[in-house]
Structure 1
């Protein structure tokens, strides 16, 4: 009897085991979706990242991920603009110079073509001569602060000659700065120099010397010794600043711009505007 019961129990167990194995084989082969578990504070498992490679990590934006090595570049400090002068005096001071340059020449007849003499200087030679002329101190004792801007020297030479060192105009103007022979003689005497007007370097120095003389002469009469040749000091009125007055006088002579007891005038606005435009837009500035 006992053997019969044991045999029956064993048979039932075998049948249950076989039924369980058959159930596993019939289950679909797929992985169930992971279940999100609530994070438990203080649990090591809750702080571990999901090892599944299919889980996408959130992208970091530039604002949420600052670079530890990136440093904010300091903004460049703007250059202080020169304080605008009050403009020229309505009644000028008496001129301080007694040795005055000769009057400008009579305009040449229309249709006259310039001539050429000597060897033409190269562009590099002209640039070096004009740069040297702008760097000189023409009044080392009475007005050492006078400086002729390089852009003004280059633009004047371009307006006068197109940087042609060997050109001679119909009215007698010579070289880069179109210096008149009589004016060259006067400047050599006034500044005790011996510049050769036909040499391209000396011609540049003569032109720079004349610009410096006009700066001091007009600056003393109309601007109370303020010798700044700065375009930022000018307004829309051409007679508002020393820069325009010097440009005008270089072309028309000092007597056409400055008159004792009378206001400053600019009799040649077209020439002044041309030179002023060349000071910022001339191709020669890049040479």
Structure 2
């Protein structure tokens, strides 16, 4: 999450697509530390806790100092969820609508110094615990009032967590990204305030929720501006052009920050194609989908 800056993107090579390292939520973390924006919508589930670094900066794996041992393999199937009635058949608007959220996450931190090694804090959650946390986060309704149809696919959460940290819950990147979803502390604070929660970024369950919350925030922010409130994160809506669908835009913004992808008066932009392709590949080929 760029708003979740600092990624120790555990870039898992999926064929040729996964050759590029990744970073935390939002390539250039859009770490949040501001006040709640507009009318706060409170996530249904109990409190819990998010990350980022640009495509051009050291990959998650490089910023971490090591790559997770697992190598992407079989494909996984996203959890079935109710989908809204299709609204758009074309790509994003050429001229975006004004953003509905005026309070946005804080800007990303500066890239970590080259050669920096990640650190570890606390105990590592088991694969079963991580899987349960990510599955639970995917089942939540993040915008129960204004956009209850927004759901984050389980395979997107699992792939992002693998790209960011290799599912290492206790890793801390050099840029400050924490845990599974490499959530930046400032971003976590902003998301907690925005949604009226108190997630602990160092708890693997809360970290998964924070990552999911940030992805949901990006879905609404970008969906309102470019897709006329059509919040579908379906891969089959994407074409060969990376800027063709909301799914790719949300993935890009998680790594590079919302402002690098969605700007008032400007076309939708995907500045980190390798990161997006890595996560998209992991959504169907990650070994983590079989855990």
- TM-score normalised by structure 1 residue count: 0.71
Shift of 1:247: 0.2
The residue correspondences of 1:179-194 to structure 2 (distance < 5 A) are: 179-194=183-198
Residue pair 1:134, 1:150 contacting (<8 A) in 2 also: yes
Deviations 1:135-179 (A, max 9, x none): 000000000000100000000000000000000000000000000
The residue correspondences of 1:151-166 to structure 2 (distance < 5 A) are: 151-166=155-170
Higher relative contact order (CA 8 A, sep 6+): 2
Deviations 1:242-263 (A, max 9, x none): 0000000000000000000000
Shift of 1:112: 1.1
Gaps of 5+ in 2: 1-85
Shift of 1:99: 1.4
Structure 1 CA distance for aligned equivalents of residues 283 and 267 of structure 2:
26
| 2:147 pairs with 1:143 | yes
Asked which structure has the greater CA Rg, the reply is: 1
Structure 2 CA distance for aligned equivalents of residues 84 and 225 of structure 1:
10
Shift of 1:202: 0.2
- The structure whose residues are more often helix, as a share, is 1
Residue pair 1:258, 1:264 contacting (<8 A) in 2 also: yes
1:136 aligns to what SS in structure 2? coil
Q: 1:58 matched to which residue of 2?
A: none
Structure 2 CA distance for aligned equivalents of residues 138 and 246 of structure 1:
15
Q: 2:131 matched to which residue of 1?
A: 127
Q: 1:105 matched to which residue of 2?
A: 109
What value does the CA root-mean-square deviation take over the aligned residues? 1.0
| 2:277 pairs with 1:277 | no
Q: 2:171 matched to which residue of 1?
A: 167
Shift of 1:233: 0.2
1:152 aligns to what SS in structure 2? helix
Alignment partner of 2:247 out of 243, 247, 250 = 243
- TM-score normalised by structure 2 residue count: 0.70
Residue pair 1:165, 1:200 contacting (<8 A) in 2 also: yes
Aligned length: 206
| 2:122 pairs with 1:114 | no
Structure 2 CA distance for aligned equivalents of residues 134 and 99 of structure 1:
25
1:104 aligns to what SS in structure 2? coil
Structure 1 CA distance for aligned equivalents of residues 145 and 223 of structure 2:
16
Structure 1 CA distance for aligned equivalents of residues 121 and 173 of structure 2:
11
The residue correspondences of 1:177-216 to structure 2 (distance < 5 A) are: 177-216=181-220
Residue pair 1:84, 1:232 contacting (<8 A) in 2 also: no
Shift of 1:84: 6.6
